[in-house]
Amino acid sequence: MKVGVVGASGYAGVELLRLCAAHPDLDVAVAAAGTNAGQPVAAHTPSLAAAYPTLVFDATDPDRLDGLDLVFLALPHGESQKLVPALPGRVGAIVDLAADFRLKDPTLYPTWYGEPHEAPALLDRFVYGLPELFRAELLAAGRPGDGPALVAAPGCYPTAAALALAPLVRNGVVEPTGIVVDAASGVSGAGRGLSDRLHFGAVDEDFTAYGLLSHRHTPEMEQAIGAELLFTPHLAPMTRGILATCYARPTGSATTDDVLALLRDTYNAEPFVVVTDGSPSTKATAGSNCAHLSARVDPRTGWVVVLSALDNLVKGAAGQAVQCANVVLGLDETAGLPLAGQYP
């Protein structure tokens, strides 16, 4: 199937190109990259030279996307809202990696993103692309109907938190209020743009919290989990990875074994979720499309602690987008997606 990657020179876009190169059914026909238009992919990102020896970055032009089976949008927030209205009728499906169509309530965008949504009428048409929790909606979006399948792939922090907490909230094991999510991300989560706070000298040997009380992924987490929570993100001195430590109050007398059993039951048939007795680590997930989960119940303080680790560029971005594409296109959901991580 012919696909396009818009925003192909950013970190998520490059990861999409890498994954599509190993995919048995997805052929990248267009790689659009705005200011890098006209530059060979191999020169811009040498790690892709063998996979794309002749591919050249295109300008971001809807006309170049005509007739494609699916388009991935790996653009900065706000840009997909401008492009998507021009794509129905041109492409078979759209998977957006940005936050432009993740929130169902348009009134949340001015509060959390600082500006009104430019295409609010399309919000209800997008399905939330976290297959392990919303597969039925993805399958429905992929059935023949009016217009293309529209998918909003989750962010890396919300993916980690939702996989950890949604089963507990949905099954009434924890209270749906008073939840705390502390999560740390590698610097690639901030994208490829230049920033003083992302320089090596600023990040190395430092560990900082940011977005205090106001991080824009908060309402997305609450929507996906179905609970009220306090989210505090941290920047860690590593390239890839998310580690989320989530705290919730139990509704009854659950034990560690009970919570681990629930997670195992929920994800038993899911190839990309590993539930482990040990403590999840970002290194174990690097390069894979897998999330690693574990949990503890502390009888002394009464807290339920659930931990989640994943690669923010794969399961937290490009890998998840490809997984969603597989579902809506009727392909094997695991096609082209690595189960094994890279170590060391």
Q: Which residues are paired to 3 by β-bridges?
A: 28, 70
Q: Are 95 and 89 in contact (CB under 8 A)?
A: no
Q: How many residues does the chain have?
A: 344
Of residues 261, 270, 266, 262, the one with CA closest to residue 290:
270
Q: Is 269 exposed, middle or buried (0-12, 13-18, 19+ CB in 10 A)?
A: exposed
Catalytic residue among 20, 156, 290, 324: 156
Instruction: Determine whether 156 is an active site residue.
Output: yes
CB atoms within 10 A of CB 52: 19
Of residues 209, 258, 199, 268, the one with CA closest to residue 234:
209
Cα–Cα distance, 3 to 34 (Å, whole number): 17
Q: Which residues are paired to 274 by β-bridges?
A: 292
* Active site positions, annotated: 156
